[in-house]
């Protein structure tokens, strides 16, 4: 359809970039990026009127996006970009498809598929993307790529981690050089932080973090940060816990990436760490939990180690944010106790007849609540199996 409209307007349209990579990898894609040799906004508007949907045009960028059912389509006029300084937002001019592709980051992200009827489905691969996809290689298109845009350093490691790919020898060398030149410090904080947020959303976050370690990138992004084996062990253990939690309690899933970041930041000074959370626009639960991590987590952990009765465990852990529970559970010393709390203690319920009896005794409001809690604690200490209500 897009191709027909493009043809009618005398334009050429292509699916481009990461979408082509994902299509070739056999992934389902819902976001399609098109590059148009011609006026992308005009093409988008024609398509929109055919499907009776709205377009959102951005004339200053020559782009427009629209939604058709569950598909998100983005149209961009083919363009050339020049960077005034490393990492800056680029200056944009109209250009051919090839010029549009050559400004991209890696060979696997720089392919296109034609959608015009006469060449529908033809793959355009100027830089050897297909071969690199097959060989599992991340390769920049030219030697100054990382200097032009240092955010690509992090993107390279994110794709390598996500896909289980390696950087080519020369890309690896260029990447190391760019890191050593301190380019990550020079890039705009907002773009770096955006990339960090994307990395935290990845399933294979451990692989990405271990590439971050190998290439020493976080040292350049988080002031005063240093990798240790202890930290890496903690992260590995946290991953097991978050995998367990997301399987066991799917309805309680949270964005676990933030919890990994919390553990990383727990190794540096609180003020630096809180500033970082602000820069990366962490949600409020992350900031609040991070505060408690510094102030109370070690105390809770110490008391938990000493706790013997179920009710003690319960009292220590109730009201503690899930992110902190997961962090605690990744500490071997208290793992079993936190697990017991998450799986059972927090769901202990007092029998309804006991509540009725309390009400008959005239208890209400806070008093009633306290009495119920007391009974709960007695039940979990006395009985082998207690009544639970699990969502």
Binding site residues, ligand ATP, CB under 6 A: 17-18, 104-105, 109-110, 149, 151-152, 155
Intra-chain end-to-end CA distance of the chain, in Å: 46
- As a whole number of Å, the CA-based R_g of the chain is 27
Q: Which two tokens stand for residue 18?
A: 């990461």
9: left (phi over 0), alpha (psi -120 to 50) or beta: alpha
Closest separation in Å from C-beta 71 to ligand ATP? 15
Output DSSP code: residue 88: P
Q: Quote the least distance from Cβ 103 to ligand ATP, whole Å.
A: 6
CB closest to ligand ATP, residue no: 18
Q: Which is nearer to ligand ATP, 25 or 53 (CB)?
A: 25
Transcribe 12-32 into DSSP letters. Answer: EEEEETHHHHHHHTT----EE
Considering the complex, state which of residue 9 and residue 198 has its C-beta at the smaller distance from ligand ATP: 198
Output DSSP code: residue 140. B
**CA distance linking residue 265 with residue 231, whole number of Å:** 10
Long-range contact list for 360-364, CB < 8 A, 24+ apart? none
For residue 37, the minimal CB distance to ligand ATP (Å) is: 17
Handedness of CA 299, 303, 304, 310 (dihedral sign): negative
Dist CA 200 CA 266 (whole Å): 16
CA–CA separation, 121 vs 3, rounded Å?
A: 10
Question: Of 5 and 138, which has the nearer Cβ to ligand ATP?
Answer: 138
CB of 56 within 8 A of CB of 74? no
Q: At what angle do helices 335-343 and 229-248 cross, to 10 degrees?
A: 20
Residue 284 beta carbon to ligand ATP: minimum distance, rounded to whole angstroms: 25
Cβ closest to ligand ATP, residue 57 vs residue 87: 87
Which of residues 4 and 99 has its CB atom nearest to ligand ATP in the complex? 99
User: CB 76 → ligand ATP: shortest distance, Å?
Assistant: 9
CA 227, CA 212: separation in Å to the nearest integer? 10
CB of 283 to ligand ATP, least distance (A): 20
Nearer to ligand ATP, 32 or 329 (CB): 32
To the nearest whole angstrom, how small is the minimum distance from the Cβ of residue 274 to ligand ATP? 28
Q: How far is the CB of 168 from ligand ATP (least distance, A)?
A: 17
Minimum CB–partner distance for residue 142 and ligand ATP (Å): 11
Residue among 151 and 264 whose Cβ is closer to ligand ATP: 151
DSSP 304-350: HHH--SHHHHHHHHTT--HHHHHHHHTSGGGHHHHHHHHHTGGGB--
Residue 171 or 289 having the CB closest to ligand ATP? 171
Choose between 206 and 368: whose C-beta lies nearer to ligand ATP.
206
Order the strands of the 63-68 sheet from edge to edge: 55-58, 63-68, 71-77, 31-37, 12-16, 112-114, 123-124
């Amino acid at each position: 359809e897009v191709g027909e409209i493009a043809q009618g307007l005398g334009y050429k349209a292509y699916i481009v970039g990461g979408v082509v990579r994902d299509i070739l990898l056999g992934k389902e894609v819902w976001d399609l990026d098109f590059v148009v040799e011609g006026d992308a906004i005009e093409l988008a508007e024609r398509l929109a009127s055919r499907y009776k949907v709205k377009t959102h045009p951005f004339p200053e960028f020559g782009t427009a996006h629209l939604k058709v059912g569950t598909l998100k389509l983005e149209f961009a006029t083919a363009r050339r970009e020049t960077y005034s300084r490393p990492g800056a937002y680029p200056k944009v001019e109209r250009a051919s498809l090839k010029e549009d592709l050559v400004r991209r980051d890696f060979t696997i992200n720089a392919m296109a598929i034609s959608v015009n009827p006469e060449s529908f489905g033809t793959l355009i691969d100027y830089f050897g993307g297909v071969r690199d996809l097959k060989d599992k290689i991340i390769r920049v298109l030219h030697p100054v790529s990382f200097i032009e845009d240092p955010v690509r350093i992090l993107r390279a490691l994110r794709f390598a981690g996500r896909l289980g790919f390696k950087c080519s020898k020369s890309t690896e060398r260029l990447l190391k050089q760019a890191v050593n030149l301190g380019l990550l410090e020079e890039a705009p904080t907002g773009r770096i932080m955006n990339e960090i947020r994307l990395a935290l959303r990845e399933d294979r976050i451990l692989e990405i973090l271990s590439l971050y370690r190998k290439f020493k990138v976080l040292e350049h992004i988080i002031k005063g940060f240093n990798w240790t084996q202890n930290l890496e062990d903690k992260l590995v253990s946290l991953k097991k816990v978050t995998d367990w939690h997301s399987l066991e309690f799917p309805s309680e899933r949270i964005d676990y990436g933030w919890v990994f970041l919390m553990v990383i930041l727990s190794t540096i000074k609180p003020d630096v760490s809180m500033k970082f959370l602000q820069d990366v626009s962490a949600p409020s639960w992350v900031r609040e939990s991070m505060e408690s991590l510094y102030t109370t987590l070690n105390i809770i952990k110490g008391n938990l180690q000493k706790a013997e009765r179920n009710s003690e465990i319960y009292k220590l852990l109730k009201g503690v944010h899930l992110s902190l529970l997961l962090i605690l559970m990744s500490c071997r010393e208290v793992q079993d106790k936190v697990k017991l709390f998450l799986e059972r203690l927090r769901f202990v319920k007092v029998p309804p007849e006991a509540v009725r009896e309390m009400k008959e005794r005239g208890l209400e409001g806070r008093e009633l609540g306290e009495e119920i809690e007391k009974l709960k604690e007695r039940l979990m200490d006395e009985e082998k199996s207690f009544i639970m209500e699990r969502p």
